[in-house]
Amino acid sequence: MQLLASVFLPTYPDPPGPKVASNAITVAKGLGAILDVAVVNVDIPDVSNALSRFLLDLPAKIREVEAASRQRGKTLLDAAAVEASRCNVTLTSQELKAQPALMGEAAAKEARYFDLCMVGWTSNNEASQMTAEELVFSSGRPTLILPGDEDVGPLDHVVIAWDGSRVAARAVADAAPFLEQASAISIVTVTDEKLLPRDDVGYRLAHGLAARGLQAKAESIHAGGNEIGAALQEHAIRINGGLLVMGGWGHSRLRDFVLGGATKGILADLRLPVLMSH
């Protein structure tokens, strides 16, 4: 069965990083997936009254903002189509629209029709961050978060952040397409951050993967004075990991995101692709 992947590109107030769409196409090509590119354009309700229309001409300003959002979306779709053709990736596309505060929610609802969703992350892009968080916690699908400003290298060394928890187990199951194609798998357990269910959780997972024909190396690290997310990411980069797989800790309630320590640490300074499941 062919994998169906999606990438979401919010266009308001700023477009995503310049590399998000091309990186998503690269990932889709590696997985042999069909890729759907969805731009999320802004739809601003007109709540102006007669006075505001007279003084500020709000309807005209709203139309201008929405038109700029749609134009950014068209530019993104056109560029993605060219890149997909060059890479021989089957591409579909769509244009979603939502109010500013609901753009992430619109993406999460659409993501439920795909096997894997992707989104960019740029430190100063609020729309991309909001969309990424909503996808992780509300889509019910694994979310691959891609750095927005740099090319993604091969994802053939998969690093699994493992603590034996439910969300970590969900992430490992969702990472199956990447694990099956990996040339190396590393299981990393942080031992000084919280009480673990058993001392050998990493080796137990490695044994389970071996039974499925996947060879993995288990190791333990100490976070020391670092946040656990930062420690995991730094270790993954140090061992030349191409993809970090981890459970997403947190909750989404009425647009108020409460992130767990590891999740918050990763998203504060994303430096490599991270597959998150919740």
CA angle, 253 then 230 then 158, to 5°: 95
Selected residue with higher pLDDT from 47 and 169: 169
CA-based radius of gyration for the chain: 20
Residue with tokens 């009425």: 254
- The number of CA neighbours under 13 Å toward the Cβ of 5 is 28
Stretch 201-217: mean pLDDT, rounded?
A: 96
Distance of alpha carbon 248 from alpha carbon 250, whole angstroms: 6
Are 276 and 249 within 8 A, CB to CB?
no
Residue 253's pLDDT is 42
Whether omega for the bond prior to residue 10 falls within 30 degrees of 0, making it cis, is: no
Contacts of 89 (CB under 8 A, 6+ apart): 25, 28, 29, 33, 34, 35
- List pLDDT tens digits, range 23-58: 999 999 999 999 999 999 999 987 655 545 554 677
Are 236 and 262 within 8 A, CB to CB?
no
Structure tokens at 55: 């003084």
Residue 262's pLDDT is 55
Are 141 and 271 within 8 A, CB to CB?
no
Residue 36: strand pairing partners: 6, 92
Distance of alpha carbon 191 from alpha carbon 149, whole angstroms: 33
Please, which pLDDT band fits residue 224 given cuts at 50, 70 and 90?
A: confident
Question: What domains sit in the chain, N to C, each tagged with a CATH number?
Answer: 4-147 (3.40.50.620), 157-277 (3.40.50.620)
Stretch 193-219: mean pLDDT, rounded?
A: 89
DSSP states of 70-119 as a string? Answer: HHHHHHHHHHHHHHHHHHT--EEEEEEEE-GGGHHHHHHHHHTTSSEEEE
Q: What is the mean pLDDT of the chain?
A: 89
Structure tokens at 142: 């694994």
Burial class of 2 by CB neighbour count within 10 A (0 to 12, 13 to 18, 19+): exposed
Helix axes 20-31, 58-87, angle to 10 degrees: 40
Closest residue by Cα to residue 29 from 154, 179, 117, 186: 154
Stretch 196-216: mean pLDDT, rounded?
A: 91
- List pLDDT tens digits, range 68-93: 999 999 999 999 999 999 999 999 99
Distance of alpha carbon 100 from alpha carbon 98, whole angstroms: 6
